[in-house]
Amino acid sequence: MEITNNYPKVQAGTPHFLMLPWLAPGHLIPTIDIARLLAEHNAAVTIITTPVNAARIKPTIDRSNAASAGNISLVSLYFPATEVGLPEGCENIDLVPSMPLVYNFCQATKLFRQQVSRYIRELAPRVSCIISGMGYVWAVDVAHELGVPCFIFHGFGSFALCCSEILHKTKEHEDEVLVPASSAEPFIISGLPFEFKITRKELPLHFPQSKEMKEIGEEMRSYELAVDGILVNSFEQLEPGYADLLQNLSGKKVFTMGPVSVCNTKMMDMEERGNKPTVSTHRCIQWLDSKKPKSVVYVSFGSTGSFAPKQFKELGLGLLASQWPFVWVIKDIEKLPEETLIWLRENFEDKNSSRSLLIKGWAPQIAILSHPAVGGFLTHCGWNSTLESVAAGVPVVAWPLYSEQFLNVKLIVDVLKIGVSVGAREAMAFRGDKEDGIRVWKEDVVKAIEKLMNGEEERKRVAQLKEKAEMALEKGGSSFLNLESLIQSVAP
């Protein structure tokens, strides 16, 4: 796919946002939605990324430009993957073959600065602001060299960011007496409006244990402290008071502007978002059309969530033992042994094809979630999936895996009460566990699904939030006004 890196023509007086989306699907996808919303609000946007990622997002940007004034430019610059020992084309976290190589990936993103700086030197007079992803630790220096503000987009919600700010400040989690590293002993994250206990085993990935990853964590923290503001994909009614608390804790201006996925109203945009689906959306819709309203459980663990064989099988047994039909999205299927694949074919595709639809690879998630047959979402509680579920009015069965997902579960299950927990107690390694053990049993899966699907309360509450989500982005809504205020704050 050819992308010509011309310098965008930005009209005098038009605010121009330079966006550097972090190279992970859960960041790239909402950043593109933010770009589209900014363009709808008449700002100019230039997105700088790498060839592999540019190819993934170009169709969405082309459609957006064709539908509106066409003021999103896409720039694709060389990414130095092989220079740091990564395979060629390893330009997104979902392509990093194993956890230890995440460190190399971070090194490559540091070298990427050279290409970006070279490109924007000429663009500089026309840039009003940089919006950059959580891992581009150098972005704030680049922005300040240009004399423009830098806003960070972590991809997390306000509640999770508040918890993270508190832990950085208090270091409660590092108290070896109160909270030994190996312990499952809960400790309190202080300063929240309610008593929130967490264990070290559930802590977000950006509070790492290994020496190398600690170094990266420290660089990220310095970057967070240096930025001029924080963009959050959320809306006031979903996390009441938490954007203000984040503003107080961080001392930075916070703009909540979500849920940004709501901008995908056309079927093509819902279908092809962040990647090409490995299944025809038409087939999914036909299958869903044959089911009763609110009877299907959609099962997916984000862009990278996958399990070792025993846990994978236990999940499958739980889905079969529950009484509901389900769509099961399976990532990294090539990592499963032959016998598991045979078991999968025999028990799901041969025997239970009318009750189960398997998607091996990338699913058209928001097209599925918005189908009236879907009544529950068994999710890892990645922040985008959480918001997309809310925007579709679908309650969740919460099975957090890693990153900040255990924090999101607290919000979903205990604060908002729009979901039921499967009872996962320990974060697993990013890109899957090495040990082939079971943390969540078949019975846990069945119990949580039955509770959610037979319950009314979670469904009622999430339906109310769906309405509020739509209102937030409508003219005059809180997210709409925050977007306007962001644009005005950088207007030339």
Q: Contacting ligand UDP (CB under 6 A), which of 151, 298, 383, 480? A: 383
From residue 184 to residue 213, the character string flagging contacts with ligand UDP as x (rule: CB under 6 A) and all else as - is ------------------------------
* Residue 277, both tokens: 């689906």
Neighbouring C-alpha atoms within 13 Å toward the C-beta of 418: 27
What is the DSSP track for 89-112? T--SGGG--STTHHHHHHHHHHHH
Minimum distance from residue 437 beta carbon to ligand UDP (Å)? 21
29 binds ligand UDP (CB under 6 A): yes
15 binds ligand UDP (CB under 6 A): no
Scored b (16 or more CB within 10 A) or e, 33-61 reads bbbbbbbbeebbbbbbbbebbbebbbebb
Please tell me whether residue 459 adopts helix, strand or coil conformation.
helix
End-to-end CA distance of the chain: 34
Q: Contacting ligand UDP (CB under 6 A), which of 15, 19, 20, 26? A: 26
Closest by CA position to 140, among listed 230, 224, 215: 224
157 binds ligand UDP (CB under 6 A): no
Taking contact as CB under 6 A, which single stretch among the options 25-33, 244-252, 309-317, 424-432 is the one that binds ligand UDP? 25-33
Q: Which of residues 319-348 bind ligand UDP (CB under 6 A)?
A: 329
* Residue 153, both tokens: 């987009």
Q: Contacting ligand UDP (CB under 6 A), which of 56, 173, 200, 273? A: 273
Q: Contacting ligand UDP (CB under 6 A), which of 53, 73, 385, 421? A: 385
Minimum distance from residue 148 beta carbon to ligand UDP (Å)? 28
What is the DSSP track for 262-318? GG--SHHHHHSSSS--SS-HHHHHHHHHTS-TT-EEEEE-TTT----HHHHHHHHHH
382 binds ligand UDP (CB under 6 A): yes
From residue 128 to residue 147, the character string flagging contacts with ligand UDP as x (rule: CB under 6 A) and all else as - is --------------------
* Residue 32, both tokens: 């593109």
Closest residue to ligand UDP using C-beta atoms: 26
* Shorter beta-carbon distance to ligand UDP: residue 129 or 231: 231
One-letter amino acid of 166 = I
**In whole angstroms, what is the distance from residue 211 CA to residue 213 CA?**
6
Taking contact as CB under 6 A, which single stretch among the options 136-144, 248-256, 295-303, 310-318 is the one that binds ligand UDP? 295-303
Minimum distance from residue 225 beta carbon to ligand UDP (Å)? 24
388 binds ligand UDP (CB under 6 A): yes
**In whole angstroms, what is the distance from residue 360 CA to residue 362 CA?**
7
Closest by CA position to 488, among listed 244, 156, 253, 161: 253
In contact, 40 and 142? CB cutoff 8 Å:
no
Contacting residues for 423 by C-beta, under 8 A, at least 6 apart: 440, 444, 448
**In whole angstroms, what is the distance from residue 271 CA to residue 240 CA?**
31
* Shorter beta-carbon distance to ligand UDP: residue 71 or 389: 389
408 binds ligand UDP (CB under 6 A): no
In contact, 245 and 239? CB cutoff 8 Å:
no
Taking contact as CB under 6 A, which single stretch among the options 66-74, 100-108, 297-305, 480-488 is the one that binds ligand UDP? 297-305
Taking contact as CB under 6 A, which single stretch among the options 45-53, 60-68, 377-385, 452-460 is the one that binds ligand UDP? 377-385
234 binds ligand UDP (CB under 6 A): no
* Shorter beta-carbon distance to ligand UDP: residue 18 or 134: 134
365 binds ligand UDP (CB under 6 A): yes
Q: Contacting ligand UDP (CB under 6 A), which of 48, 249, 357, 363? A: 363
Minimum distance from residue 397 beta carbon to ligand UDP (Å)? 14
**In whole angstroms, what is the distance from residue 118 CA to residue 146 CA?**
12
302 binds ligand UDP (CB under 6 A): yes
Minimum distance from residue 192 beta carbon to ligand UDP (Å)? 22
What are the residues binding ligand UDP (CB under 6 A)?
Answer: 25-26, 29, 273-274, 300, 302-304, 329, 362-363, 365-366, 382-385, 388
